Structure formats: C-alpha cells, structure tokens
Amino acid sequence: MTFAELGLDEKILEAISYMGFDQATPIQEKAIPQILKGRDLIACAQTGTGKTAAFMLPLIHNMASDPHDGTSTLVIVPTRELAVQIDQQIQAFAYFVHASSMAIYGGGSGAEWETQKKALTNADIIIATPGKLISHINMGNVKFNKLKYLILDEADRMLDMGFYDDIQKIIASLPKKRQTLMFSATMPPKMRVLAKQNLVDPYEITLAVSKPSERVLQTAYLVNDVHKSTLINDLIKDKANLESIIVFSSTKKSVNEIVRSLSGKGYVVEGISSDLEQAQREEVVNRFRAKQIRVLVATDVFARGIDIKDVHLVINYHVPGDGEDYVHRIGRTARADATGVAITLVNEDEMYKFAAIEKLIDTTIVKLPIPAYIGQSPEWSLSRPKSSFQRGRSSNGRPSSGSSNKPRQQSNNKNRFSGKKSGPSKP
C-alpha cells in the first residue's frame, strides 16, 4: 500500500517523497489508519520496521489539518540517541507542515537546559527521556495542558531500564483526555499492566516479535575470550567491501580493550558508550555514518533506535543478555531492503545463554570452530556454565590440558565467512 492510499496530507506526501519513500511498511499500513481514527494503540514490531513513521506521520497529518496551540504531542523514549533520531525524522516528515519539535535529554550544559525549558512551553512536539523530563516537571517548566497525543516508544526497553515509576509520574501530569500510543518490540507482563492502566480500548498490532530479519545471515564462532580479538581481525582483514562494521560489547571496559586491540592492527576504529558526553557520541556517530570510521565498538546503548544505513557486518563480541538484545543488535545491519551479516563470538560460559536465544528466535545458528592457526575452540555444550575451578580452567582463561577442545560442529574452510557481497540464505 502506498502512503497516498493511506489518505495522508499532500504536504506530508511531498516531504516523504523527497526522502524516497512511497510504499508503507506493514506496521505503517496497519497502524496509521487506526491512529487517524483516534484509537489508542499497542503495536509490537521488530526493530527497523518503520515504527517512527507509523506513529508520527498520522499525528503530523492531524497538525496539518487541525490548528493547534502549544505542545500537542509527547514522545517518551529510553535513550538520548533515540530522542535525537526521532527529532531529526520529525523535522524531515514535517518539512512542509507548521510543526516544531525538540528533543529533551540529559547530559547537556546550562544553556541547553534553558533551551529545553523554553521548548517545553511552545514546541508542538516534545521527544524526551523520562529522567530529564521528570526534572523539568519538578521545576515547573512543563505545560502539557493542551496535550493531545502521548507516545511511549520502545516501552519494553524503558521498563527494563527501571522507568516504570517515572513513566507513571509523567502520565499523571498529562490531560486524561488524550490519544495514547505504545510501541514496543515485546509485550512483557509489566507492559500489559502499564497499558491497562493508561490506554482506553487499545487496538493491538503484533508483527514478527523477536524475529531477526531473514536478510541477516547469522553465524556463530566457538571461541575463548583470549582469541576473540584475533578472530575479529581474521574475519575483516583484506575485505575492503566491509566498509561499516559494528562490534557490540556488553561492558564499557571491553569497548576500550577492543578499540585498543583493533587500532593496533591498523583499523580506523572508535568506541561509544555512556562514558562519552552526548556531543562526543553524536560526533562519533556522524563520523561512522560518513564512513570516516570503519569499525565502531559499542555497548547496548547503541543497539536500539540508531538508524545507520549500509552497516555491512555486526559482530557480537559478547553474547547479549537476552534474545531481545540480540535481535536489536543484529538489526543494525540489513536495514530497509539491504542484506547483512551478523557474527556472534561464543565462549564456554555463553553457550547456555546463546542456546536460549536460538530457542527464542526459533532458529538454529550455524556454529563454526575458529581457524587452527588462531587456537582451539571450546566444545559446544548446553549445560549451565560452571565456575572456573569446576571446569579446570587456568587463571588466564585458557582451557587446561585435560579439557576437550574439539567442537562438535565442524566446518571446512570454504564455509567460513568470506565477506563476499551475496544474498544471505537461511541458516
């Protein structure tokens, strides 16, 4: 279905046409008509499906056709990166419509606080992280008496991050008569509670929850931590077609270690984590978008909400904490109609967790041994991880001489990741 068939305002159609959009995605096709009808909405869809346009296009349509005064729309998001991204998308969508927007998030200067304070009294659309918005509410800087629309984006992530009470406090400050839209990748029980308390007869949409895109070729290597950086170098060296690579780490400490290791190999690499100031993080992201950085090493703060085209390879240095984090991490590649590759490095302690992810996404991922010239792979096992003492491992993390290192899933060299540009097949 085209956006024109959805009945959107001509000024919006003109703006998204300049952006190269014509056909609506499934989530947009299902959500936009219901939002235009004024229905409250719960929508579950995987990352990269066009959720921002699904909730913003119909609301900007309403702004184009219905005069408004003051802030009409509040979008609550879990991270500053997502707030900035949505703000940028709104500016593009509303290019020919009289609608202003402002992203409200922490980590800024005193001057930025004053700018945010002013915007909270007159901007049409506010995109905010819960903590910073609560600070402005406590200071009396907020005027939401004319608010018409509330959107909770990546609601499951906000609950995971402990924002339940903050969200309830924010909602308590809003007019009770409003349209509320909740977008998420999953529907955990606590989110059901939140929806029941704050939505009225919501229309529900569920699309491909917890399923990676079929355009992502997924592979795993069984590898001890001591060999992971060497393996990454082996995977990407001499592969000029891999221009944009993201390596996800579960800890800020490992981000710095990986950056140092890959920098020593001659790669243009930078790290991004919550240790950086917002301005620094945006500079790194912009350099990566411009392909001035080949390898970006990041914590999960980067996994959700950041839309960067043409990421050719995602490497999970650590197995993510749960299946949803895995889906969001590998969702950074194969955006829109592109294809991509996702490789997960699995050590002995992470095998049980990785098997749980396979069960969640209903996919058995091919597991490969590392090349013999790098080292030996641990044996694949579905048992829960034991302590180092119980496994008989040495203090440096290497298996002891009595350990079995022969992987059960063998593969010849021609099945190893080649880096060639070809369409992925199902694993």
Give the integer Cα–Cα distance in Å for 157 and 212. Answer: 17
| DSSP-H helix ranges across 19-163 | 26-36, 51-65, 80-93, 110-122, 130-138, 155-160
* Residue 331 within any structural domain of the chain: yes
Please indicate, yes or no, whether residues 231 and 357 belong to a single structural domain of this protein.
yes
Bridge partners (DSSP) of residue 218 are 342
- The β-bridge relationship of strands 366-369 and 216-222 is parallel
Mean pLDDT of the region 68-80 = 91
Neighbouring residues of 13: CB distance < 8 A, sequence distance ≥ 6? 3, 4
| Alpha carbon 230 to chain centroid, angstroms | 27
Instruction: List the single range of 14-18, 128-132, 267-271, 417-421 with lowest mean pLDDT.
Output: 417-421
Q: Which of 217, 384, 242 is nearest to 312 (CA)?
A: 242
Please indicate, yes or no, whether residues 174 and 225 belong to a single structural domain of this protein.
no
* Residue 421 within any structural domain of the chain: no
Please indicate, yes or no, whether residues 183 and 288 belong to a single structural domain of this protein.
no
Please indicate, yes or no, whether residues 202 and 223 belong to a single structural domain of this protein.
no
Give the integer Cα–Cα distance in Å for 68 and 62. Answer: 9
Report yes or no: 304 and 79 within 8 Å, Cβ to Cβ. yes
Strands (E), 319-409: 340-346, 366-369
Q: How would residue 185 be classed by pLDDT, with cut points 50, 70 and 90?
A: confident
Please indicate, yes or no, whether residues 187 and 319 belong to a single structural domain of this protein.
no
Helix (H) or strand (E) holding 255: helix 252-264
Q: Which of 62, 88, 86 is nearest to 154 (CA)?
A: 86
Q: How would residue 415 be classed by pLDDT, with cut points 50, 70 and 90?
A: very low
Tokens, residue 151? 């959107």
Please indicate, yes or no, whether residues 333 and 388 belong to a single structural domain of this protein.
yes
Residue 184 zone, left/alpha/beta (φ > 0; ψ -120 to 50; rest): beta
Instruction: List the single range of 70-79, 254-263, 418-427 with lowest mean pLDDT.
Output: 418-427
Phi/psi for 185 (5° steps) reads: -95, -25
Report yes or no: 125 and 102 within 8 Å, Cβ to Cβ. yes
* Residue 420 within any structural domain of the chain: no
Q: Which CATH number belongs to the domain containing residue 38 in this structure?
A: 3.40.50.300
Domain count across the chain: 2
Domain that holds residue 286: 216-415
Rounded percentage of the chain residues whose pLDDT exceeds 90:
53
* Residue 338 within any structural domain of the chain: yes
Bridge partners (DSSP) of residue 41 are 181, 203
Give the integer Cα–Cα distance in Å for 316 and 259. Answer: 14
* Residue 423 within any structural domain of the chain: no
State which of 207, 240, 267 marks the end of a domain.
207
pLDDT of residue 202: 96
Give the integer Cα–Cα distance in Å for 370 and 353. Answer: 20
Please indicate, yes or no, whether residues 163 and 80 belong to a single structural domain of this protein.
yes
| 212, 213, 215, 218 alpha-carbon torsion, rounded to 10° | 0
Mean pLDDT of the region 408-422 = 38
Please determine, for residue 420, whether its predicted confidence score (pLDDT) is greater than 90. no
Tell me if the pTM is above 0.85. no
* Residue 425 within any structural domain of the chain: no
Report yes or no: 422 and 338 within 8 Å, Cβ to Cβ. no
Please indicate, yes or no, whether residues 9 and 107 belong to a single structural domain of this protein.
yes
With b for 16 or more beta-carbon neighbours within 10 A and e for fewer, the 171-205 pattern comes to beebeeebbbbbbbbbbeeebeebbeebbeebbeb
Please indicate, yes or no, whether residues 197 and 237 belong to a single structural domain of this protein.
no
State which of 207, 237, 252 marks the end of a domain.
207
Residue 10 zone, left/alpha/beta (φ > 0; ψ -120 to 50; rest): alpha
Please determine, for residue 282, whether its predicted confidence score (pLDDT) is greater than 90. no
Mean pLDDT of the region 420-427 = 36
Report yes or no: 57 and 8 within 8 Å, Cβ to Cβ. yes
Q: Which of 190, 326, 349, 179 is nearest to 248 (CA)?
A: 326
Chain segment 36-65, per-residue pLDDT in tens? 999 999 998 766 678 899 999 999 999 998
Please indicate, yes or no, whether residues 179 and 36 belong to a single structural domain of this protein.
yes
Please indicate, yes or no, whether residues 392 and 328 belong to a single structural domain of this protein.
yes
* Residue 150 within any structural domain of the chain: yes
Neighbouring residues of 244: CB distance < 8 A, sequence distance ≥ 6? 288, 291, 294, 296, 308, 310, 311, 312, 313
Please determine, for residue 226, whether its predicted confidence score (pLDDT) is greater than 60. yes
Chain segment 108-143, per-residue pLDDT in tens? 677 888 889 888 888 999 999 999 999 999 999 988
* Residue 422 within any structural domain of the chain: no
State which of 207, 235, 270 marks the end of a domain.
207
- The β-bridge relationship of strands 179-184 and 41-45 is parallel
Please indicate, yes or no, whether residues 320 and 229 belong to a single structural domain of this protein.
yes
